[in-house]
Amino acid sequence: MLFPHKLAIYLMKRLAVILWVATMVAGCQSPREAENESKVYLKNTEQFKLQSHEVEGEVNTAQVCLPFQFEKNKTYPVVYLLDANRYMDAVKGISDLLNYRMGEFKSHIQDIIVVGIIYNQSDSAWWVNRSRDFTPTLDTLTPFGKNWPLAGGADKFLDFIEHELHPAIMEKYLVDDTQTGIIGHSFGGLLAAYAFLTRDQLFDRYIVVSPCAVWDQELLLRIEEERFDINKDFSRRLYVATASYDPPFLVTDPTEKLIEAIIAKPYSNLEFYYDSCKNETHISILPRAVSSGLRFCYPAN
């Protein structure tokens, strides 16, 4: 029989042996095996990197989320997601859930491919890059605009999507090019709204969530007025959502002015829905708006 102090010593020795064996076993793993065990992967998702020639020095990763019943010989609409560094897993989950069908459960949306555009850099770099790529102009006049000294790269970023990323997606997958969409929130919502007004040849469906529509003294409102004659006959769907707790000056007030301007004009082939989301904040609105926006823009057939 072991006395208490001898028992403690015995158990400590046994523990040391166990830890040594565990360390040796872990050391026998290849670096790739150890790396794979530490990562979590999104199902039905592929990815590739793409060097941008439009945005100098930028290498983006495109995460391509395929529908569960994906077929290589079938065509699908493609929806581009901004801020995928933060929202990819959430938006994929919402899309998958709305697309779920089994037995009596019917799909809420049609099969779509969601392509998340990801910066291969740190979180702080992502925050700076989005202010560069999602803003149409450099605003040096307003106090808010002065916070973003690298702003003004929206056209280059949209050129990257149009001339580099979208062609790369079309090479890899069969794409229904009549229903291409974009999802953007906050500065991303600003870019999505800007694309609605200026890139009719690129997108057909727009999900605009809490856009920072105050940008550059309500630039979107001026562009809408200038380009109405160009845009009035294009066949498109536009979903816009704001939260009841969005900052009024930055988001709600200028967005409602833009909506009023759109409603007041005879856009002949525009399907439009404005969603004023009660009891939501600038952040919490995203899942609700993405769900509603996808159902509006891509209803099940």
98-148: pLDDT as tens digits:
998 777 778 999 999 999 999 987 888 888 999 999 999 999 889 999 999
Residue 56 shares a structural domain with residue 193: yes
Residue 11 shares a structural domain with residue 94: no
| Per-residue confidence band for 19, with pLDDT thresholds at 50, 70 and 90 | very low
Question: Which of these ranges, 13-22, 40-49, 86-95, 188-197, has the smallest mean pLDDT?
Answer: 13-22
pLDDT digit string, tens, across residues 31-81 = 444 444 556 678 889 999 999 888 888 889 999 999 988 999 999 999 999
Are residues 231 and 193 in contact, defined by beta-carbon separation less than 8 angstroms? no
Residue 93 shares a structural domain with residue 155: yes
Residue 11 shares a structural domain with residue 110: no
Residue 146 shares a structural domain with residue 287: yes
pTM: 0.86
Q: Which domain holds residue 13?
A: 1-39
Residues 47, 81: Cα–Cα separation, whole Å: 14
Residue 189 has pLDDT above 90, yes or no: yes
Mean pLDDT of 155-183: 97
HEC sequence for the chain: CCCHHHHHHHHHHHHHHHHHHHHHHHHCCCHHHHHHHCCCCCCCEEEEEEECCCCCCCEEEEEEECCCCCCCCCCECEEEECCHHHHHHHHHHHHHHHCCCECCECCCECCCEEEEEEECCCHHHHHHHHHHHCCCCCCCCCCCHHHCCCCCCHHHHHHHHHHHHHHHHHHHCCECCCCCEEEEECHHHHHHHHHHHHCCCCCCEEEEECCCCCHHHHHHHHHHHHHHHHHCCCCEEEEEEEECCCCHHHHHHHHHHHHHHHHHCCCCCEEEEEEEECCCCCCCHHHHHHHHHHHHHCECC
Residue 77 shares a structural domain with residue 173: yes
Residue 188 shares a structural domain with residue 224: yes
Question: Which of these ranges, 118-127, 136-145, 170-179, 197-206, has the smallest mean pLDDT?
Answer: 118-127
Residue 178 shares a structural domain with residue 165: yes
Model pLDDT, residue 18: 31
**Residue keyed to tokens 């072991």:** 2
Residue 114 shares a structural domain with residue 97: yes
Mean pLDDT of 85-108: 89
Residue 1 shares a structural domain with residue 105: no
CA dihedral (99, 86, 256, 141) in degrees, to 10, reads -160
In this prediction, what percent of the chain has a pLDDT beyond 70? 87
CATH of the domain at 247: 3.40.50.1820
Residue 10 shares a structural domain with residue 158: no
Residue 21 has pLDDT above 50, yes or no: no
Residue 4 shares a structural domain with residue 70: no
* Number of Cβ atoms within 10 Å of the Cβ of 132: 20
Domain count for the chain: 2
